[in-house]
């Protein structure tokens, strides 16, 4: 693992949704996320949960793990990283809908959770 | 038990719904599911929960247990098996509606849950 | 206690609802239910929860306890007994609405919960 | 404390709602309630939870505590006392809405919870 | 830390919302809040939870921590402080919406939770 | 139930130990104890746990329940009542050994537990 | 299952200890025990835990389950049944040592646990 | 409450041990302790548990509560305050033995607990 | 993974203890164990916990995982497999001491745990 | 924070034990430890707990936090790092005794905990 590589949506691999005609959901719970606070230089620790309804593609779990590990030494704030994770996940897999929740361990006695979601625009028949 | 037999909807036995005129639900929690990851050859472990409203038939629990055990040495991914379990359950029992949730133990520090559901098309009076 | 007496709705005693003009609910949790599986002859153990909105009558708790004990040596399946408990409760107390949930201890590694509900037809002014 | 004094809505003191223009809610959890079963003469123990949206007045907590203690030696059934607590609370504080939940410790292996609620009639502009 | 300084909305610092075009939410859990009961002179202890959807600004966490610490020796009631925290948070950050929940440790065997919320008036196109 | 009767060791009934030759233990958990603080006049609430090795006699549970209920309106401090319960239990049943633990609900944010024990002097062969 | 058959140590089947030279322990947790209170005629419900070090024999689990089910309609007190279960287990399997714990659901707000143990007399070399 | 008064052992009031001839223990759990870190000026929050066997005197709970509140604005480290609380408790009540445990909320992702104990020197017969 | 290969101590790989002069312990928790009951042909599921003090060698975790997976289709009883796991672990790594605990999911409403331990004979200086 | 700096006992700062004459203990719980597995290159995550009795010196918490963070990108095995943490802690603070426990998140479905301890040789009077 090269922890100096920059994370990018391109690192997320996908495979064809095995049941594309059904509106079902996949929840992926990642309790070992860590990044670095750009202000204090101190590490942050959190759990990231992706919940999505696949469109044509499902996200491959090992590539997701490696992608998340690339944030290990990146300086990025809670709000930024949560929105970034959602944007990358959507770019890579183009889901019908997706929610990303990040839950962070306490700093200064205060805990923070961030929730961001995406819904694909419906393509309507012409 | 012959763990080499292929699982199939035909193995699910049913009995007549004892209260066919009432819209009620049955939840069946199966925490001892195991199959094999086709990519790594490693065993997967999960809990499967079926929640359904019976139509004419209820699913007999012992046949469900034996059916689930037949996945023990089958190579199948999370998303596939969840949709497969739903399809087989629907084929065998033709419920009014059914939800299948699979919750898998962590791999590489990441846990995955999959939720798929089915609703019978309503037959409308002509 | 005579455990050979057959359970029946007539054994459920009621008392007048002390607040008949208010739509309120009563939840009764009975974790010591036991009956016998007709197929295996083995005892089943479960928790029964009644949640109802009384009409003219409330169900008296001691008679409910004795009524439930009469299932101790009765052979009856999960789905049957849940619907039976609801039918008897409704017959005895004529509630505005009622839900019965039964939650059974695991058999063969599988747990089952059954939920059935009743709503009185609204009497409309003529 | 004089445990022989009869409880009454007049004993509930109020203070002006500090934010009368906002629809907000106050939950008060009272786990030390006790009264006496009129049928058996045995003490009952429960938790009472009031959740209300104040109108012009908020209920003062110390007076609520003393009011609840006056039920200590009163004979009163679960359903009665729950409705009585709601009626007294509403009479004393005239809330926008109020829910009272009572949760009782088990008797004869059976637990009971009662939920009653009140909503003020909306005053419409003339 | 000077615990004699009066808390004020001006002490809450903000930074630009990094994703202003998305309707997402931030939950901030502060379990170390303490103030003083004006009636008894005794300290109160509570957990404050802010949940908001940012508009143009996000609230900076360290300034929020210091702002909350300034209530340490302030005499203020539960209902007042909850509404005050909401008002200050809204004034400082002008969120799309915000909920404040305060959960207080028991006094006299009674626990209290207060929930207040704010929604910005929608600016409609002219 | 007459809550004005004074509690006394004489009210504890016993029955012959069914296995007097074996050193075994009986734990009795009573979570519904209440008495009154002599200083404040406020009710106290606690759980009493008796753990004893019977000698010739076992304590009958219903008489223990009624004995404990007689403290309902008695003014008595935590330390006193715990030692009193131990003394009465020992006087009535003459156990080989006995421990009494009382665990009280919080007052002023502080919880108290008291533990007292007794061991019979060994009668030595002459 | 014939619930009228009297339970007896003879019903406990054993098999040869697969590791007779090692001092190891087996814990068997039986949460579905029920018998009848001889005084009130009401059913009792409890969990029985056997912990033993086998000598020459191990107890076969299915026979233990059937043996315990034969108490279903037997009138027997907590202290009696606990000592009886220990005596029967020892008679049937002659363990090096054995502990039986019974934990009963509350009656009249009071819970009871009974613990009895046995240690084989050591055979000393002559 | 005057939070500027310095805490001192003299503020702990005592009352005569009601059972001086018995070696029993009293546990006092105080989850609302707060003081100030002398290094950072930030408030610390902790739970203090005293467990002692009284000699001639018991500690009066209300005076203990007020004594602990006087640390509210005192600058003192974890190790110091724990040993100080033990010294003051011993000086005021001269117990047979005493243990003080302090459990602190996390700072910088790290939690700390400190345990200190005292045993009176035994007075031996001359 | 070839689930037909027979498990054997030879499959457990070791590496040199990095701190051979210190008496320290390593606990390895394996919640995904499964084997087959030889009597019923049904799968068993359990958690295996190894706790050992290494001598010259530590057990390599990946080889332990693969070794445990080889029991997947083996018919073996609870007591046998627990003692077998201990014997193989000891043979492969020659620890100073080792405890193996197996905790099995319920069958017929009964759960079983088995605990076996080993201590190396002390080599005494000549 | 410079995550490339090598961790070393010299980075642990100490302060004089405020109560050197008393044998008391300090427990420090660090749930945010991370290092890298030298074999797989994958990050490991664990909780480290230090429990020690100080001699002349106490370990300063902020320096401990920074020292632990320096393992972030270090390749080191579970057994090594646990013994290393103990050795560094002892070298820096020369405690009377110290225990280090490391509890690691699961890998391949297996969790590992390591416990190592140190006791100072007693200096005996000459
Ligand atoms: Ca979720
Ligand atoms: Ca923190
Ligand atoms: Ca469910
Ligand atoms: Ca998983
Ligand atoms: Ca309910
Ligand atoms: Ca079940
Ligand atoms: Ca509530
Ligand atoms: Ca009860
Ligand atoms: Ca509270
Ligand atoms: Ca106990
Ligand atoms: Ca208390
Ligand atoms: Ca304690
Ligand atoms: Ca362990
Ligand atoms: Ca089992
Ligand atoms: Ca510890
Ligand atoms: Ca692990």
User: Is the minimum CB–CB distance between D22 and chain E shorter than 8 Å?
Assistant: yes
pLDDT at E87 over 60: yes
pLDDT at F123 over 70: no
Nearest to J27 by CA among J57, J73, J59, J62: J59
User: Is the minimum CB–CB distance between G38 and chain C shorter than 8 Å?
Assistant: no
CA dist., res. F55 & res. F17, Å (int): 7
pLDDT, position C5? 83
CB contact under 8 A, J72 and A41: no
Could you tell me the maximum CA-CA distance found in chain A, to the nearest angstrom? Answer: 55
CA dist., res. B19 & res. B24, Å (int): 9
pLDDT, position D5? 83
CATH number belonging to the domain at D24-119, selected among 3.40.50.620, 3.40.50.300, 1.10.510.10, 3.30.1130.10: 3.30.1130.10
User: Is the minimum CB–CB distance between F105 and chain D shorter than 8 Å?
Assistant: yes
CB contact under 8 A, F22 and G116: yes
Instruction: Pinpoint the alpha helices (H) of C53-117.
Output: 61-69, 78-93
In Å, how far is E9's CA from the nearest CA of chain F?
Answer: 31
pLDDT, position D123? 59
H55-108 tens-digit pLDDT: 999 999 999 999 999 999 999 999 999 999 999 999 999 999 999 999 999 999
Rounded to an integer, the average pLDDT of D75-81 is: 97
pLDDT at D15 over 80: yes
Could you tell me the maximum CA-CA distance found in chain E, to the nearest angstrom? Answer: 55
Query: With touching defined as 3+ CB pairs under 8 A, do chains A and J touch?
Result: yes
pLDDT at J3 over 80: no
Catalytic residue among G44, G58, G88, G98: G44
Q: Of all residues in chain E, what percent carry a pLDDT higher than 70?
A: 95
pLDDT, position H38? 95
Beta bridge partners of F76: none
CB F86 within 8 A of CB F117: yes
Q: How many CA atoms lie within 13 A of A53 on its CB side?
A: 13
I65-79 tens-digit pLDDT: 999 999 999 999 999
Query: With touching defined as 3+ CB pairs under 8 A, do chains I and J touch?
Result: yes
Q: Name the stretches of chain C with pLDDT < 70.
A: 1-2, 123-126
Classify burial at D33, counting beta carbons within 10 Å of its beta carbon; exposed 0-12, middle 13-18, buried 19 or more. Answer: buried
What percentage of chain G's residues is helix, strand, coil (to nearest 5)? 20, 40, 40
Dist. CA I50 → ligand 13 center (Å): 8
J14-38 tens-digit pLDDT: 999 999 989 999 999 999 999 999 9
Mean pLDDT score of chain I, rounded to an integer? 94
- Structure confidence at residue H123 as a pLDDT band (50, 70, 90): low
pLDDT, position G84? 98
pLDDT, position F21? 87
Catalytic status, residue A37: yes
Phi and psi, residue D99, nearest 5°: -125, 135
CA dist., res. H19 & res. D107, Å (int): 36
F54-76 tens-digit pLDDT: 999 999 999 999 999 999 999 99
F14-28 tens-digit pLDDT: 999 999 989 999 999
Give the residue carrying structure tokens 């003219």. Answer: C56
CB E88 within 8 A of CB E9: yes
pLDDT, position D4? 75
Q: How far is CA F22 from the centre of its chain?
A: 23
Q: What is the 3-state secondary structure (H, E, C) of J44-70?
A: EEEEEEEEEECCCEEECHHHHHHHHHC
Task: Kindly list the domain boundaries of chain J, sorted by start residue.
Answer: 24-119
pLDDT, position E1? 62
A33, B43, B100, B117 from B49: Cα distances, Å: 29, 19, 6, 12
pLDDT, position H3? 73
In Å, how far is A27's CA from the nearest CA of chain B?
Answer: 5
Instruction: Return the residue of J nearest to B106 by Cα.
Output: J109
Instruction: Return the residue of E nearest to D58 by Cα.
Output: E79
Dist. CA B68 → ligand 1 center (Å): 25
In Å, how far is H116's CA from the nearest CA of chain A?
Answer: 26
pLDDT, position C77? 97
Rounded to an integer, the average pLDDT of A37-46 is: 96
pLDDT, position F79? 97
Cβ-proximal residues to D123 (8 Å cutoff; 6+ apart), any chain: none
CB D95 within 8 A of CB D103: no
Give the residue carrying structure tokens 């500690």. Answer: H59
pLDDT at F122 over 90: no
CB contact under 8 A, J107 and I29: no
Instruction: Return the residue of C nearest to G75 by Cα.
Output: C1
Instruction: Return the residue of E nearest to D18 by Cα.
Output: E80
Residue G121 assigned as binding residue: no
pLDDT at E69 over 80: yes
Which range has the worst mean pLDDT, B48-57, C64-73, D4-13? D4-13
CB contact under 8 A, C32 and G45: yes
As residues whose CB is below 5 A from the ion ligand 16, the structure lists J 104, 106-107, 111-112
Residue E105 tokens read as 């440790």
Dist. CA H100 → ligand 12 center (Å): 10
pLDDT, position H121? 85
CB B42 within 8 A of CB B109: no
E98/E124: higher pLDDT:
E98
Which residues of C are known to be catalytic?
A: 37, 44
CA dist., res. G68 & res. G85, Å (int): 9
- In three-state secondary structure terms, F61 is helix
Strands C57-59 and C111-119: unpaired
Q: How many CA atoms lie within 13 A of G35 on its CB side?
A: 26
- Structure confidence at residue I2 as a pLDDT band (50, 70, 90): low
pLDDT at D6 over 60: yes
pLDDT, position G111? 98
Q: Which ligand is nearest to the CA of I46?
A: 14
Rounded to an integer, the average pLDDT of G81-91 is: 98
Nearest to F20 by CA among A32, G79, H120: G79
E14: chain A residues, CB-CB within 8 Å: none
Q: How many CB atoms lie within 10 A of CB B55?
A: 14
Residue B38 tokens read as 């086709």
CB contact under 8 A, C109 and B30: yes
CA dist., res. F55 & res. F19, Å (int): 9
I45-97 tens-digit pLDDT: 999 999 999 999 999 999 999 999 999 999 999 999 999 999 999 999 999 99
Query: With touching defined as 3+ CB pairs under 8 A, do chains I and H touch?
Result: no
G105: chain D residues, CB-CB within 8 Å: 109
Mean pLDDT score of chain B, rounded to an integer? 94
In Å, how far is F30's CA from the nearest CA of chain E?
Answer: 19
Classify burial at E20, counting beta carbons within 10 Å of its beta carbon; exposed 0-12, middle 13-18, buried 19 or more. Answer: exposed
Q: Which ligand is nearest to the CA of H52?
A: 12
Q: Which H helix or E strand runs over I63?
A: helix I61-69
The beta-carbon neighbor of J1 closest among A3, A41, A105 is: A41
- Structure confidence at residue G66 as a pLDDT band (50, 70, 90): very high
Catalytic status, residue G87: no
CB contact under 8 A, G79 and F22: no
pLDDT at B78 over 60: yes
Dist. CA H48 → ligand 11 center (Å): 13
User: Is the minimum CB–CB distance between I119 and chain C shorter than 8 Å?
Assistant: no
CB contact under 8 A, G109 and D105: yes
The beta-carbon neighbor of B32 closest among I36, I45, I72 is: I45
DSSP state letters, I37-103: -TTT--EEEEEEEEEEE-SSEEE-HHHHHHHHHTTTT-B--HHHHHHHHHHHHHHHH--SEEEEEEE
User: Is the minimum CB–CB distance between A42 and chain J shorter than 8 Å?
Assistant: yes
pLDDT, position C113? 98
Which range has the worst mean pLDDT, G101-105, I119-123, J70-74? I119-123
Q: Which ligand is nearest to the CA of J29?
A: 15
Angle in degrees, CA J100, J104, J107, rounded to 5 = 155
Q: Which H helix or E strand runs over B47?
A: strand B43-53
C43: chain G residues, CB-CB within 8 Å: 1, 32, 34, 69, 72
CB contact under 8 A, F105 and E105: no
User: Is the minimum CB–CB distance between C91 and chain D shorter than 8 Å?
Assistant: no
B108-126 tens-digit pLDDT: 999 999 999 999 987 555 4
D25-46 tens-digit pLDDT: 999 999 999 999 999 999 999 9
B16, I18, J8, J76, J87 from J84: Cα distances, Å: 66, 10, 10, 10, 5
I4/E49: higher pLDDT:
E49
CB C14 within 8 A of CB C60: yes
């Amino acid at each position: 693992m090269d922890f100096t590589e920059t994370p990018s949506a391109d690192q997320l691999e996908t495979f064809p949704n095995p049941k594309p005609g059904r509106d079902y959901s996949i929840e992926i719970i990642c309790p070992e996320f860590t990044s670095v606070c750009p202000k204090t230089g101190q590490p942050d620790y959190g759990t990231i949960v992706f919940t999505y309804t696949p469109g044509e593609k499902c996200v491959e779990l090992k590539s997701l793990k490696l992608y998340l590990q690339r944030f290990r030494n990146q300086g990025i704030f809670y709000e930024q990283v949560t929105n970034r994770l959602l944007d990358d996940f959507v770019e890579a897999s183009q889901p019908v809908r997706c929610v990303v929740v990040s839950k962070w361990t306490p700093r200064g006695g205060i805990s923070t959770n961030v929730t961001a979601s995406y819904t694909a625009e419906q393509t309507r028949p012409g």
